Copies of this chain bind each other. A is one copy, B any other.
Amino acid sequence: MKFEAVTIKDIAKALGISTSTVSRALRDSYEISPETKQLVLDCAEKLNYRPNPIALSLKEKRSRSIGVVVCEIANSFFSQIINGIESISYDRGYNVIISQSHESYEREVMDLRYLASRSVDGLLISVSTETNDISHLKALHEKGLPIVFFDRITEEINTHSVIVDNFKGAYEATEHLVQNGYKRIAAIANSEFLSITTERLAGYREALLSNGLPPDDAYIKHCFYGGMIFSEIEEAVNRLFTLKQKPDAIVTMADKLTSGCLKTLKRRGLTVPDDIALVGFSNSDIAELISPPLTVVRQPAYEIGRDATELLLQLIESKRPVKQFEKRTLTPELQVRESSFPKK
């Protein structure tokens, strides 16, 4: 059930010339006479000739496709990133093959195996929250597969990466709460080894410290599965409320955690920000429609995708091995709304 495509051979036959002449004419080679060129071009047009990318890939030993691994497509932050990835790849004639890890290390390893078997020319990845051991990535990298990390990166592999200033994002969110009169600010983050966790918690701690509030680890909760299991977030929140000194504000360090946390607070019948304030990393387009309108740290997701793709294509298309790597850091934005209004 597949339609027969027109090949270079058909053109050659139609014109009574050799395939190589056709090939050269199509690529506008200087060796071909203008007349022949025109003839070939016209014929190609007439027969509606389309070069077969697979044959080209086989020849050039490149697939013109890149692999993308994210935890979840149906997450505003990542779908916006994919949007950015897609826009650049499309322009440059690359396919994008998307895989989801669903925050599972095991699934991530499988995804990578799959992408490698589809011989992608390069890889864009934000590791799963479960991923601590990155030997699967190292192996690919050592074999020469160009990789660019974004969002959740690793220092263990020397290559380009694109992130936002996570420290700053969390710092500003936390300091904003302090300035609005909140004193016992808790944090809910992903697993401990994730780069975004470390960086964001560092910003959070520093903001507390420089505002004279000693950070207390009892106020920091981790979600090992990144909130893929709702009960995980629920439990983290509930735990915070068992403390003698209940928190009066929470900073959530990722999209999924932000919505999950708010959901939990509501189910507990708490009013935000009167009972407890909330600021979270979130790229939801409807943060302003939420009740209460959410104060968020919003990341330039489209730009992250775009930049990561540009860097990756640069690696892929570079003639000589790239030795200098760039860690591009974009700036997140704190969007203040009601969920963090000054404490009464």
Contacts and interface: CB of A to CB of B under 8 A. Distances in A.
A1 B73 contact: no
Given A3-B144, A288-B263, A95 B74 contact: no
Interface in A32-54: 50-54
Interface string A77-117: 00110110010001000011111100000000000001011
A76 B285 CA distance: 11
Contact of A80 (B74, B96, B259, B284): B74
B80 A3 contact: no
Given A73-B82, A90-B99, A116 B50 contact: yes
A321 B1 CA distance: 7
B90 A83 contact: no
Contact of A290 (B72, B73, B290, B315): B290
Contacts of A162: none
A1 B315 contact: yes
Q: Which 6 A-B pairs have the closest CB atoms?
A: A291-B291, A3-B144, A3-B143, A74-B79, A54-B57, A79-B79
A100 B82 CA distance: 11
Contacts of A284: 286
A147 to B, nearest CB: 12
Contacts of A136: none
Contact of A86 (B63, B80, B96, B98): B98
A127 interface: no
A53 B61 CA distance: 11
Nearest to A140: B3
A333 B256 CA distance: 24
Contact of A289 (B52, B100, B262): B262
Interface residues of A, number: 61
Interface of A: 1-3, 5, 50-55, 57-58, 61-63, 65, 72-76, 79-80, 82-83, 86, 90, 95-100, 114, 116-119, 121, 143-146, 259, 262-263, 266, 284-286, 288-293, 315-316, 318, 321-322
Contacts of A72: 83
Contact of A121 (B2, B79, B145, B289): B2
Contacts of A117: 50-51, 53
Contacts of A58: 52, 54-55, 58
Contacts of A55: 58
Nearest to A292: B291
Given A52-B119, A289-B290, A90 B114 contact: yes
A121 B1 CA distance: 9
A74 B36 CA distance: 48
A232 to B, nearest CB: 16
Contacts of A318: 1
A100 B80 CA distance: 12
Contact of A73 (B50, B54, B86): B86
